[in-house]
Amino acid sequence: METTALTAKENAKQAKKMKRSETWRRIKRNKMIYLMILPGIIYFLIYKYLPMYGLIISFQDYKPYKGIMGSEWVGFEHFQRLFESTEFWMIFKNTLVLFGLQIFIFFPIPIIISLMLNEVRHSFFKRGVQTLIYIPHFMSWVVIVSISYVMLTLDGGIVNAILETLGFEKINFLLNEDWFRPMYILQVIWREAGWGTIIFLAAITAVDPQLYEAARMDGANRFRQMWHITIPAIRNVIIVLLILKIGDVLELGFEHVYLLLNSSNRSVAEIFDTYVYVAGLQQGQFSYSTAVGFFKGGVGLAMVVFANWLAQKFDEEGIY
Amino acid sequence: MAKQRISAGSKVFDFFNYFLLALLGIITILPFIHVVGSSFATSAEVANTKFLLFPTEFSIKAYEYIFSTDTIFRALGVSILVTVGGTLWSMLFSTLTAYGLSRRDLVGRRAINFMIVFTLLFNGGMIPTFLVVQQTGLLNSLWALIIPVTINAFNMIILRSFFMNLPAGLEESAKIDGANDFSILFRIVLPISLPAIATISLFYAVTYWNTYMHAILYLADADKWPVQVLLRQIVVLASGMNYDAETYTDVPPPEVTVKMATIVVATVPVLLVYPFLQKYFAKGALLGSVKG
């Protein structure tokens, strides 16, 4: 008994040793591969991880000439100032509203379009529509906002010209705070709805055609096939994308909002990103605006973790 | 009977489906046609026509005007330089990293993958990133538009998934023939990965062409501005509606046709590449994406 236990122990030791030397061998064999990924790792360390280290300036009274090592610590002072300001709650609310629009209005649209495209049997027509609706994705936000400007402007803008012909009053879309949110989400839909279908269409193609066959036998019409086969089949893709979207909770597109923002619609349009830009880079409040950004990033991370946990609770795969 | 009814309902369904999709396609493209059409019209026609799509009087005055100074040439030059140079730069490092991480026998692969994916979920934010860009000496250099975005983690992951799906025997047989890892990548893996390479190159090129935020963050000199920043100056700021309108000078606002022509100039180069690469990206983008 004892001897066997001993040999087992020794065997384990031996195995461990062998495993270690095996690992070494693998590392050595792949030294060229390590050389390949080295520049990539250095990039991520410098431009992604160093800024994360830089977040500590949100707990300091950062002075550029003193640097991170030399600046004075102030604890949670900036965060306290943040939560106490009325500005903060306005921005928080604006960010949440735009996020809500993204989730509840924008998110389902590419799914619906994919389901519709999937029912098209003429591949020429399908490709034609796809080509058209993909195009705006390749335009910058500057181009999209510019097109909106020339179309929506008060004098000579095509939309107001049409409103006038139809006997309505002209609307100053660009300076009216009531129109900021509709304009924002319509632009998001226009730019991204088509592109968003790619992933769902890919998932739909992977559905086993026999399932449809069987459903038809049971007398399911096309809506029922969609409802009982296609949608459940792509459910996991939908959930993964929803989690990612939720993780992006506060990433509403700095460029997009910044371009639409003006002093007339600021009360509904200012979001964390634009606020960080103005307070940080234009007014030089580095530490305070870093605290704002930190808060934003932290909430975003917490939301992904939460959404992923929720997905797993409901027996879905999640993203990690 | 029952069968008849289903097919009738099916026909109605088809009709609405095709109709709505066609409408969607047209609505998507209509604003752009309006802009292109107006850019080739005279200012008078733009003012008098409600819904201008095709000008009756063809005019290239707006283009003559915007190309009469070298401002837009310079901006286009910057954009082209950054797009071509940046795409090559990003592809080089993305491919190397993606291929390395696609090798299943690499020790530490999971940890490195996690380190990269984590940057998608959390980052230092605008100000700390700005400070790093400043400290690495890139401020006010065109490199500031390229180096801080060398590898897009999403793009790298798509490439990596593509490489992982290649048959494993390929590398082994090349290795037996004495090829090293670099020559395997450049002489064997890359040539057969053309769809993925083309797709990701397009993604990078579009990002570089559309670069705007980094330009306003990192570049102070107006003569280094890419075309997107110039476009914003001409259309958005000239409407006097932007947030920080103090920078706006009292030059009279340009005519509508000039704004339209500038939009076209800032957009067309990307749209020219798109049809050539479309056949690739439909295939290429699917690969990594479904796995998430």
Instruction: Return the HEC string of B119-188.
Output: HHHCCCCHHHHHHHHHHCCCCCCHHHHCHHHCCCHHHHHHHHHHHHCCCCHHHHHHHHCCCCHHHHHHHH
Instruction: Output the six-digit token pair for B268.
Output: 């067309």
Closest C-alpha among A41, A31, A320 to residue B103? A31
10 Å CB burial of residue B56 (0-12, 13-18, 19+) is exposed
- CA angle at residue A142 from A138 to A145, to 5 degrees? 100
Q: Is B185 exposed, middle or buried (0-12, 13-18, 19+ CB in 10 A)?
A: buried
Number of Cβ within a 10 Å radius of residue B107: 18
As a whole number of angstroms, the distance between CA B257 and CA B235 comes to 11
| Locus of tokens 């279908």 | A197
How sure is the predictor about B292, in pLDDT bands with cuts at 50, 70 and 90? very low
- By three-state DSSP, how is residue A265 classified? coil
- How large is the ipTM? 0.88
Four-CA torsion B172, B174, B179, B184, nearest 10 degrees: -90
Q: Does B121 touch chain A (CB under 8 A)?
A: yes
Comparing CB atoms, the residue among A41, A149, A319 nearest residue B236 is A149
Q: Which of residues 284-303 of A touch B (CB under 8 A)?
A: 286, 289-290, 293-294, 296-298, 300-301
- State mean pLDDT over B283-290: 50
| pLDDT at A317 (0 to 100) | 66
Whether residue B50 and residue A125 make contact (CB cut-off 8 A), yes or no, is no
CA distance B41 to B66: 15
Give yes or no for a contact between A66 and A276, defined as CB atoms under 8 angstroms apart. no
* Ordered mean pLDDT values, 10 residues apiece, chain A (320 residues): 65 79 85 94 97 93 84 90 90 92 94 93 90 91 92 83 86 89 95 90 86 88 88 87 73 85 90 91 91 91 85 70
Location of structure tokens 């837009």: B72
Stronger pLDDT, B55 or A102, i.e. the higher one: A102
pLDDT above 60 (res B2): no
Q: Where are the alpha helices (DSSP H) in A30-122?
A: 31-44, 50-54, 67-70, 77-84, 86-100, 108-118
pLDDT digits (tens, 9 = 90+) for B90-104: 999 999 999 999 988
Most A CBs within 10 A among B16, B49, B112, B126, hence the mutation to make, goes to B126
What is the count of residue pairs from A and B with beta carbons less than 8 Å apart? 300
Mutation to test the A interface, candidates B43, B89, B116, B127, most A Cβ within 10 Å? B127
Answer yes or no: is pLDDT of B3 > 80: no
Q: Predicted confidence band at B280 (pLDDT cuts at 50, 70, 90)? A: confident
**Contact yes or no for B174/B134 (Cβ under 8 A):** no
Burial B129-143 (b: 16+ CB within 10 A, else e): bbbbbeeeebeeebb
CA atoms within 13 A on the CB side of B92: 12
Tokens 């570049």 sit at which residue? B219
Cβ atoms of residues A254 and A272 within 8 Å: no
> Is the pLDDT at B242 greater than 60, yes or no?
no
Shortest distance between the Cα of A35 and any Cα of chain B, in A, equals: 9
Count of CB atoms within 10 A of residue B29's CB? 15
How many angstroms separate the CA atoms of B66 and B48, rounded? 23
A-proximal residues of B, 207-226, CB under 8 Å: 209-210, 212-213, 217
- Judged by CB atoms closer than 8 Å, whether chains meet at A116 and B21 is answered as yes
* Residue in chain A nearest B136 by alpha carbon: A46
**Whole-structure pTM value:** 0.88
- Looking at beta carbons, which residues of chain A come within 8 Å of B47? 156
The pLDDT > 90 percentage for chain B reads 45
Name the A residues in 247-266 with CB < 8 Å from any B CB. Answer: 247, 254-255, 258-259, 261-264, 266
**DSSP-derived secondary structure letter, B234:** I
Q: Map tokens 């917490």 to a residue.
A: A302
Q: Which of A113, A142, A240 sits opposite B231 (nearest CB)?
A: A142
DSSP percent split of chain B into helix, strand, coil, nearest 5: 75, 0, 25
Q: What is the pLDDT of residue B263?
A: 94
pLDDT value of residue B253? 61
Out of B99, B147, B242, the one facing A36 most closely (by C-beta) is B99
CB contact under 8 A, B235 and A289: no
What confidence score (pLDDT) does residue A40 get? 97
Asked if B50 and A280 come within 8 Å (Cβ–Cβ), the reply is: no
Considering only alpha carbons, which residue of chain A is nearest residue B133? A47
Q: Which residues of B touch A266 (CB under 8 A)?
A: 243
C-alpha A261/C-alpha A269 separation (Å) is 6
* Closest by Cα among B237, B19, B214, B18 to B134: B214
Query: How many whole angstroms separate alpha carbon B145 and alpha carbon B160?
Result: 24
